[in-house]
Amino acid sequence: MRCGTCVGACPKSVWGMDGEGFPVLDKETCSGCGLCWDVCPGKTEDFQDLEEEVQGKRLDPGDVDGSIRAVYLGRSTNAEVMRGGTSGGMATQLLLHALETGAVEAVLAVGCHPDIPWKPVPVLARTSEEIRSCARSKYSIVPLNAGLAEAREVKGSIACVGLPCHVRGVRLLMRRDPFWRDKIGLVVGLYCHHPWDEEVVLWLLKKNRIRPEDVKSFQYRGGAWPGWIQARKRDGVLVTLHPERTDVIVTYPMLTHAPNRCLLCTDGSNRLADISLGDGWLCKKAQLEPEHWSTVVARTAVGERLLEETLRRGAVRLETVKSEDKLGRLASMAREKYAVALSLMGGLGHGRRPVPEKPKPARIRPDVRKVRLAAYHLIFFLRQYRWGRTALVDFFLYKMRPFRKPLKEMAKRFSSRGPEPIEKAGMGT
């Protein structure tokens, strides 16, 4: 697992990382305290006890939406922040508010490597400018929690924003160590299908005959929402690496180039966060322009309080979502991720591959078709080989492209839902 939790948690700094972000232990200086094992989010998928501690109630692991206090469509009211983000700058605005009001002194977020622009790295942001520089989605793997080592030296509280694995590691660390329980004041989570390995980015650059050293900047979702995968070369030329929008093709590299352990993760909705954020896919049904909106899920009292404060100050605009099926496309993604992880764990558990402890009770949701799960098993087998990953991503991104639209139309015939009712929250407009 490459979340970085063991690296950031160790008070003696005996963990390091190799060039791909895997943890490396210095056995000679390790005291064997066991802290790294206790806070590792990779050894289990059974987080019901932890979720009960954080959210105040115990949920069935199959309830993939997690604990929900309120659901909104939200965006920043600051035009620069709104346009600087992927989906309305909501994460950036919440973190800016926490920093500028003194609620936290630093924010652990994801920035870009100064020399490898497609490579995300942990950033401990202490200023508004540093937080803004971390805006926009990054889909490659990042050992974010390694940045906790630097955060240890911050005098006041910090905020963290990350994927489910990062948030799980943070919550386990807060449970295990009173120092971190007092240190971490806010946890913002991002919805997550799966991250990519850097290998797929290098493959796309090669496909477009671009040398990695010629890339000046990189965007996983550049241009108008929902965006395209784009690279700007050092000569100023902007190249769109694939003709289709990122939202159309994003799941395919996740299938072919996500780490094996990521495919066994059951949490797509970041259930342990104070606030979970995802794309504003509900906007189309709510008769709002989809650009510059995020889906915002308040999960804890801390999250609700932050949203109320930013709304009262006019820093954000919120539209309350009122319906039973509040999360639409995000909920569908989380359901499928949960079912696929359980199915793969069941298959791999009969062999020699180690698998994490399953959630209890571990039930695959009936709304994910068996033929789809079988396809995931085949993909999982083929992607263990480099030639298999290359063949799969080439097939999904290019060979399958002419059939994408008719397949989508066919899928629509089997699943259609009514509009999501939306009401204004009453402030921040």
The pLDDT tens digits of the residues spanning 49-69 come to: 999 999 988 888 888 899 999
The answer to whether residue 71 is domain-embedded is: yes
Share of the chain above pLDDT 70, in %: 90
pLDDT of residue 416: 46
pLDDT of residue 284: 63
Residue 420 has pLDDT above 60, yes or no: no
Residue 149 has pLDDT above 90, yes or no: yes
What is the C-alpha end-to-end distance of the chain, expressed in Å?
Answer: 42
Closest CA to 308 of 104, 66, 70, 53: 70
Q: How confident is the model at residue 280 (pLDDT cuts 50, 70, 90)?
A: confident
Question: What is the residue range of 67's domain?
Answer: 5-195+264-328
Domain count, the chain: 1
The answer to whether residue 369 is domain-embedded is: no
> What CA–CA distances, in Å, run from 70 to 151, 182, 190?
30, 26, 16
Q: How confident is the model at residue 133 (pLDDT cuts 50, 70, 90)?
A: very high
pLDDT of residue 419: 44
More confident residue, 224 or 316: 316
Give the predicted TM-score (pTM) of the model. 0.91
328-348 helix and 370-382 helix, angle to the nearest 10 degrees: 60
Average pLDDT over residues 232-257: 92
The answer to whether residue 229 is domain-embedded is: no
- Residue 54 belongs to a domain with what CATH number? 3.40.640
pLDDT of residue 4: 95
Enumerate residues 6+ apart whose C-beta is below 8 A from 89. Answer: 75, 76, 78, 81, 82, 83, 135, 292
The answer to whether residue 374 is domain-embedded is: no
Residue 428 one-letter amino acid? G
Q: Residue 46's Cα: distance from chain center in Å?
A: 19
From CA 230, how far away is CA 387, in angstroms rounded? Answer: 25
Residue 372 one-letter amino acid? R
The answer to whether residue 384 is domain-embedded is: no
Q: How confident is the model at residue 370 (pLDDT cuts 50, 70, 90)?
A: confident
Average pLDDT over residues 126-150: 95
The answer to whether residue 107 is domain-embedded is: yes
pLDDT of residue 82: 94
From CA 74, how far away is CA 320, in angstroms rounded? Answer: 9
Average pLDDT over residues 148-161: 95
Contact assessment for residue 342 and residue 356, using Cβ atoms and an 8 Å cutoff:
no
The answer to whether residue 81 is domain-embedded is: yes
The answer to whether residue 228 is domain-embedded is: no
Average pLDDT over residues 113-134: 96
Exposure pattern of 339-371 as b/e (b: 16+ CB <10 Å)? Answer: bbbbbbbebbeeeeeebbebbeebebeeebeee
More confident residue, 279 or 159: 159
Contact assessment for residue 38 and residue 48, using Cβ atoms and an 8 Å cutoff:
no
pLDDT of residue 211: 97
User: CB count, 10 Å around CB of 426?
Assistant: 9
Q: Over the stretch 332-365, which tens digit does the pLDDT of each residue have?
A: 899 889 989 988 888 775 556 778 888 887 677 6
Closest CA to 259 of 205, 192, 206: 192
Average pLDDT over residues 405-420: 60
User: CB count, 10 Å around CB of 136?
Assistant: 19
From CA 3, how far away is CA 160, in angstroms rounded? Answer: 13
Q: Over the stretch 13-28, which tens digit does the pLDDT of each residue have?
A: 999 998 888 999 999 8
